[in-house]
A and B are shown apart, each in its own frame.
Chain A
Amino acid sequence: MRIVVNGASREIRAADLFSALEELGYGGAVVATALNDEFVPAAERQTARLAEGDRIEVLAPMQGG
């Protein structure tokens, strides 16, 4: 299915957020996630089902002021 990852359209096979992160190359990375603008804690990624057109945000630590 096609979903939007950090603003870019991507085709994925995974059906849940945890598997999608693995498929997209985030496996083991320290990231925070949101699905359709709602924060999804790491512990809930496996139960967060994905649907066509969903938007996910994957954020990593970054310099800040």
Chain B
Amino acid sequence: MLRFYETELRSRLLLGTARYPSPSILTEAVKASGTQAVTVSLRRESGGERAGQGFWSLIRDLGVQVLPNTAGCHSVKEAVTTAHMGREVFGTSWVKLEVIGDDETLQPDVFGLVEAARILCKEGFQVFPYTTEDLIVAERLLEAGCRVLMPWGSPIGSGRGLHNLFGLNVLRARFPEVPLVVDAGIGVPSHAAQALELGCDAVLINTAVSQARDPVAMAGAFAQAVAAGRAAYEAGPMEPRDLAVPSTPVIGKAFLG
């Protein structure tokens, strides 16, 4: 069972809710994925518009955990304020903490991230920090009070998969008890399976599902990949070798010229 702070989840797939063709396709994709936690956000709304109210009603009806994000925040102050606003609106202490450092790659500003995480953890938030695979940053985030790490696979929305397998392996080896969620960059189900195979606890997917030709079918495909990757990890994959090892026994083989 996957555990984030005191919450236990069966599904190891977290799903983003952005960029779906329609609200009904979002709803069906969430169901097909089997996810128990979805990310949400906050944006400006004009009086009487009420688009956000409709969205929130749809999410509540799904009966899943919500993970509010601080997407688009570039400073510690902005991220901390947004986290407070999200906690009030969504009624949860969970926050996917993003402090963006570079607009082209959406790479996290890890210095600001650690600072914001320290503030929010002290204020009782349960912080899910969107970070890089940097080991020392991860240490600092844990020291700040984070009990989950969300390293990127590759830049948000790029679909490039896991860029730094070594870095993810090091995080897994150094923090065996900390839930690792690969967030960002996963493009196809095999990327998700790979993350689970190497021991990451979960993945967070958005664009790869919402921008698929058939998001509902793709959500189902990711669910299978995540389950297969986890099962493979638990089964203990073989060690890779540089040279061939015959799988068919050679003892007793006939000499036929």
A→B interface (CB under 8 Å)? 6-7, 21, 24-26, 29-34, 37-39, 41-42, 57-65
- Residue in A25, A33, A58, A64 whose beta carbon sits within 8 Å of that of B41 in the complex: A64
What's the dominant secondary structure at chain B's contact region? mixed
Asked if residues A63 and B81 are in contact (CB atoms below 8 Å), the reply is: no
Asked if residues A6 and B44 are in contact (CB atoms below 8 Å), the reply is: yes
Query: Interface extent on B, as a size class?
Result: 35 or more
* Extra 13 A-B pairs, beta carbons < 8 Å, given A62-B43, A62-B45: A24-B47, A25-B48, A29-B45, A31-B45, A32-B42, A32-B86, A32-B88, A58-B44, A59-B43, A59-B45, A60-B52, A60-B56, A61-B52
- Check if B36 is an interface residue, CB within 8 A of chain A: no
Asked if residues B18 and A65 are in contact (CB atoms below 8 Å), the reply is: yes
Asked if residues B89 and A31 are in contact (CB atoms below 8 Å), the reply is: yes
Asked if residues A60 and B45 are in contact (CB atoms below 8 Å), the reply is: yes
- Check if B217 is an interface residue, CB within 8 A of chain A: no
Asked if residues A34 and B69 are in contact (CB atoms below 8 Å), the reply is: no
- Check if B108 is an interface residue, CB within 8 A of chain A: no
Asked if residues A61 and B156 are in contact (CB atoms below 8 Å), the reply is: no
Per-residue A-contact encoding for B11-43, CB less than 8 Å = 1, 0 else: 000001111100000100000000000011111
Closest 6 A-B residue pairs measured CB to CB?
A64-B41, A60-B52, A25-B47, A65-B16, A32-B85, A65-B206
A2 to B60, CA, bound (A): 36
A38 to B184, CA, bound (A): 30
- Check if B50 is an interface residue, CB within 8 A of chain A: yes
Asked if residues B69 and A6 are in contact (CB atoms below 8 Å), the reply is: no
- A residues near B26, Cβ cutoff 8 Å: 63
- B residues near A31, Cβ cutoff 8 Å: 45, 52, 89
- Check if B160 is an interface residue, CB within 8 A of chain A: no
- Check if B51 is an interface residue, CB within 8 A of chain A: yes
- A residues near B53, Cβ cutoff 8 Å: 29-30, 60-61
